[in-house]
Amino acid sequence: MGMTNNKTQCFTCNKEKAIYSCKGCSNRFSFTDLAEQKQLLNEELQHITEDYDQFKQKINEQKQNPQNDALIKQIDQWERNSIEKIQEKAQNWRETTLKYSPTVINDIEMKLDDLSEQIKQIHKENDYNETKLNYLRNQLITITEEFNNSSNISIEQDSQSFINEISFIPSKKSKWDEWKQNAITVAGGNKQGQELNQLSGPMGIFIDKNKNIFIADYDNHRIVEWKYNAKEGQIIAGGHGRGDRMDQLDHPTDVIVDQQNHSIIIADWENRRVIQWLNQDQQILIDNIDCVGLAMDKNGLLYVCDYKKNEVRRWNIGEYNNEGIIVAGGNGQGDQLNQLSSPTFIFVDEHQSVYVADNNNHRVMKWKKDAKEGRIVAGGNGKGQNLDQLFGPRGVIVDDLGQIYIADRRNHRIMRWCEGKKEGKTVVGEHGEGNQLNGPTGLSFDDEGNLYVVDCENRRIQKFEIIL
């Protein structure tokens, strides 16, 4: 603080006195007030010095004890929280694994028991041939492989996360996700008719590993096969007019290919029978049944949906002369969880759970193996076009992640539902250019995940290519 002795007004007391200028603030003070100003400055300097000393001490302490850093403390807390979460999740998955393992063994033992009964029956009747022995051998091989590969759940670690998140995932990952919305017509599409390049009211379809398409050509009373990229189909069953002779069909609704003997099995609706065609030889497997949808599980067991009895039954190979076993419905027509109402198409997964398009209840039901009632996995909220509704569902198929695809016929769309969700998603058929559908019925995928839809009222099969 510099000073000059002049006679003027003091900055503090506003009196005419001899004053001294302060170079720091450029104000002028009397001698008395100047001393007080200097004292204030000294006190401020003292405060700054004390603050400096305290901060310096804090720096020194931090250097000597770096663990006391606030950021380190946050990291320590984050570590404790993370460890607790990991330990909790690990314990949950341990408990899940312990519950899962006995189920796998029990399933295998049940299959062995079934196979044992079949072997005993063959021994008892002394009735066996190469076909039956090959079947038994293949069954035993299949069960053995299932046991050897029973650990079909693995641990996946998310490498993108700093703390690796673990979760159980299926051994296979679904490739089915999104499809191009402009479909390709791969069969029919040449107006209604009975020529080889035409269809009339197609219903169910089956796609084999070579992408050949087998079609139940309902109003033409025939089954036609369209080879991959073919311009027309070929008749492989029926085609001799409407009738009940062994070489005739009457409004067939569904068709599957038996992978074991390469025969075709047909739901011959108006003839009330399930018939097998093998190299132009016919055999009635089941009669007096109002069959609509067919399915076959990985063990070669045949499932048939009876539209009028409101039930689904399962038959063992070679035992079609009995009544089969009810695996869904069978409790009269109704909307309770143990009932169905005019069911149509069905799908069976690898666990022998049966998915049923419950047509008049506008829902899809899942019946687990040996269950006494089903569970609603799609729709069930009355008929309608909202995302939580269906209207006359027909074709149904489930991918390897348990996602359910439905031909929602009267809404002219294909929907995807995840079990436990309250609503589904329209995957094709939202009336955009190139993807219009009119009364879709059958539904299938090929090995690449391309989506095939029976566009019934347009008399064609549409292929929606997967987006990779």
pLDDT at 279: 83
Q: How far apart are CA 461 and CA 442, in angstroms?
A: 9
Does this model's pTM top 0.75? My answer is: no
Closest CA to 296 of 323, 259, 253: 259
pLDDT at 168: 40
pLDDT at 122: 79
Helical segments of 15-173, H only: 31-64, 70-125, 130-148
Closest CA to 358 of 389, 386, 392, 398: 392
Q: How far apart are CA 277 and CA 292, in angstroms?
A: 17
Q: How far apart are CA 216 and CA 454, in angstroms?
A: 10
The CA-atom distances, in angstroms, between 185 and each of 159, 256, 298, 434, 459 are 42, 21, 30, 11, 10
Angle between helices 130-148 and 70-125 (to 10 degrees): 160
Residue ranges of the chain with pLDDT lower than 50? 1, 3-5, 159-161, 165-175, 432-433
Which DSSP string do the residues of 430-443 spell out, in sequence order?
Answer: SS-TT---SSEEEE
The whole-angstrom distance between residue 357's C-alpha and the CA centroid of its chain comes to 17
225's tokens:
């096969």
pLDDT at 3: 47
Length of the chain: 468
What residues pair up with 196 in beta bridges, in sequence order?
Answer: none
pLDDT at 174: 47
Closest CA to 304 of 254, 341, 244: 254
153's tokens:
């759940």
The whole-angstrom distance between residue 338's C-alpha and the CA centroid of its chain comes to 24
pLDDT at 380: 96
**Coil, helix or strand at residue 11:** coil
pLDDT at 171: 40
Query: Which position has the token pair 């309902």?
Result: 218
pLDDT at 169: 40
**Residue 130 region, left (φ>0) first, then alpha (ψ -120 to 50), else beta?**
alpha
